């Protein structure tokens, strides 16, 4: 089975314009993501709609493809990129362009989901721990996932799910149940990616602003891999400062 890693990267961002080109430890964020993915996939490319990002990727020797400015999501951009590079890979792995510390073990966990021939789509979750604290679980910017016994996602929500009846909400809930945080890494069989890009937005997706709910509503199975590694996504300049501090605290971000 062949895997292609595609890294969607936009220049425009309300909270952090030019984020992919921000410097992190003497290297752009987009280059750090690219270097983390290299060696784990059969092929890697950045998918962008901006010539400044295109030039930056070419400057460090990366593979980049230009895509439309009209895409609603990274998922749509991945499909166009897959077509534009004329890839024949069986599975497309969508790697967030603002995850410079994505680990090889996490990418391998997502790939392993496709050992099950019934897997349409795969993603990752991380268990919340009591040390994370209740505030981390309640954070609506950190979607939660309910997982079934066959390791398929049952539902994603910005709310805390499931509800623990008969217990005071807070740290007591963490001792009663394993809550899962969603890590925004997706992989899709090529045919499935083609299909889901044709789907109209769904009511649950619009309610929660989570595109994966559209796929569940339409009957697609989302296999879940588990990771114990905390990722450091970069959404704001403050996140970049935290990432810089993390980089300085360790000798290498790779697993």
Give the Cα separation of 67 and 227 in Å (integer): 31
Give the Cα separation of 155 and 144 in Å (integer): 8
In a domain, residue 8? The reply is yes
In a domain, residue 81? The reply is yes
Q: Among residues of the chain, what percentage have pLDDT more than 90?
A: 78
Residue 234: per-residue pLDDT: 87
Map tokens 């590079």 to a residue: 85
> Is pLDDT above 70 for 255?
no
Residue 141: per-residue pLDDT: 86
In a domain, residue 223? The reply is no
The mean per-residue pLDDT over the stretch 140-152 comes to: 94
Domain with 98 in it: what CATH number?
3.90.550.10
Q: Indicate the SS3 state at residue 162.
A: coil
Reported confidence tier of residue 116, pLDDT bands at 50, 70, 90: very high
Average predicted confidence (pLDDT) for the chain: 93
In a domain, residue 149? The reply is no
Map tokens 């030039």 to a residue: 55
> Is pLDDT above 60 for 156?
yes
The mean per-residue pLDDT over the stretch 60-73 comes to: 93
Give the Cα separation of 3 and 197 in Å (integer): 19
Q: How many structural domains does the chain have? A: 1
CB 10 within 8 A of CB 52: no
In a domain, residue 196? The reply is no
Cis peptide leading into residue 162 (ω within 30°): yes
In a domain, residue 20? The reply is yes
In a domain, residue 218? The reply is no
Q: What are phi and psi of 108, to 5 degrees?
A: -65, -35
Look up the domain containing 84 and give its range. 1-102+234-255
Give the Cα separation of 119 and 111 in Å (integer): 11
């Amino acid at each position: 089975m062949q895997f292609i890693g595609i890294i969607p990267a936009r220049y425009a961002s309300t909270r952090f314009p030019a984020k992919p080109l921000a410097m992190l430890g003497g290297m752009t964020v987009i280059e750090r993501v690219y270097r983390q993915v290299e060696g784990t996939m059969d092929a890697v490319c950045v998918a962008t709609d901006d010539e400044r990002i295109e030039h930056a990727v070419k400057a460090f020797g990366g593979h980049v493809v230009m895509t439309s400015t009209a895409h609603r999501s990274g998922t749509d951009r991945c499909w166009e990129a897959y077509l534009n590079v004329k890839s024949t890979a069986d599975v497309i792995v969508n790697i967030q362009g603002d995850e410079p510390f994505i680990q090889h073990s996490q990418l391998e966990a997502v790939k392993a989901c496709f050992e099950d021939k019934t897997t349409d789509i795969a993603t990752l979750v991380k268990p919340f721990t009591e040390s994370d604290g209740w505030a981390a679980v309640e954070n609506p910017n950190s979607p939660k996932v309910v997982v079934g016994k066959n390791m398929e996602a049952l539902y994603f929500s910005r709310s805390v799910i499931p509800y623990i009846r008969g217990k005071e909400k807070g740290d007591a809930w963490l001792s009663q149940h394993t809550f899962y945080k969603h890590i925004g890494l997706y992989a899709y069989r090529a045919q499935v990616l083609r299909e889901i890009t044709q789907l109209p937005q769904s009511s649950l997706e619009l309610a929660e602003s989570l595109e994966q709910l559209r796929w569940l509503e339409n009957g697609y199975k989302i296999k879940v891999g588990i990771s114990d590694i905390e990722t450091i996504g970069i959404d704001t300049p403050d996140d970049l400062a935290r990432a810089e501090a993390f980089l300085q605290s360790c000798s290498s971000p790779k697993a």
